[in-house]
Amino acid sequence: MKGKTLSSQSRGLVLFLLLPLLAVQERVARALSISLSTITRIQRRLSSNDNVLRSPGKKRPRKKSKTTDLSHAVRHNIRDTVYQMYSESNDDEQKHVTIVNLNKTLKEKELASISNSSLQRVLPTIGFKYKKDGNRRFLVEQSSIALLRTKFLRSYNDYNQLVVLMELIPMYYYDFGKNSRDSTILDEK
């Protein structure tokens, strides 16, 4: 390499690497193009965490959206309004529950005043989903909610049949306490 002249870029690299040997942090900072405070912070974390370096989390805490802060009463009102809108529709006049219609109904009844986009975000958390039929999307219950409803109704019907059977049993099979027993049996003992 004797007799070869270095370009300005090469000379800059030489100056970049020429640092005092005792100033280790400055040398590392300059070689990596980071600040001295970053190097000292990394050294502090390394000494406090038993030689384990963790990368910072990618998820940052975000502000909670207003739709998740709705009270349970408002959510129940929205759900009941959807059910009511479906129950009011006749077979002749099929009424489609849309976000706009639902929001208009909620505002007329003064149950909730939220935007259409917020209402669209709330509906899946209440237990509804959108089903697509051709080009049209419509609101239906989630399958898990419908399954829970059918289980409840079946158990309710089974319980009602049990109550009806209990009513058919004649009253003299029941023991109503001491007052209903025959006193002659007690006197014989």
Please write the tens of the pLDDT for every residue from 93-114. 666 778 888 888 888 888 878 8
Residues of the chain with confidence (pLDDT) below 70 = 1-2, 15-21, 49-56, 66-68, 89-95, 160-189
Query: How many helices (H) and strands (E) would you count in the chain?
Result: 8, 2
Token representation of residue 136: 């049209």
User: Which pLDDT value is given to residue 18?
Assistant: 67
Q: Look at the pTM and tell me if it is higher than 0.95.
A: no
Q: What angle do CA 148, 152, 155 make, to 5 degrees?
A: 140
Burial 78-106 (b: 16+ CB within 10 A, else e): bbebbeebeeeeeeeeeeebebeebbebb
What are residue 131's DSSP bridge partners? 138
One-letter amino acid identity for 93?
Answer: E
User: Which pLDDT value is given to residue 175?
Assistant: 53
* CATH number for domain 69-144, candidates 2.40.170, 1.10.3470, 1.10.10, 1.25.10: 1.10.10
Domain ranges of the chain: 15-48, 69-144
User: Which pLDDT value is given to residue 156?
Assistant: 80
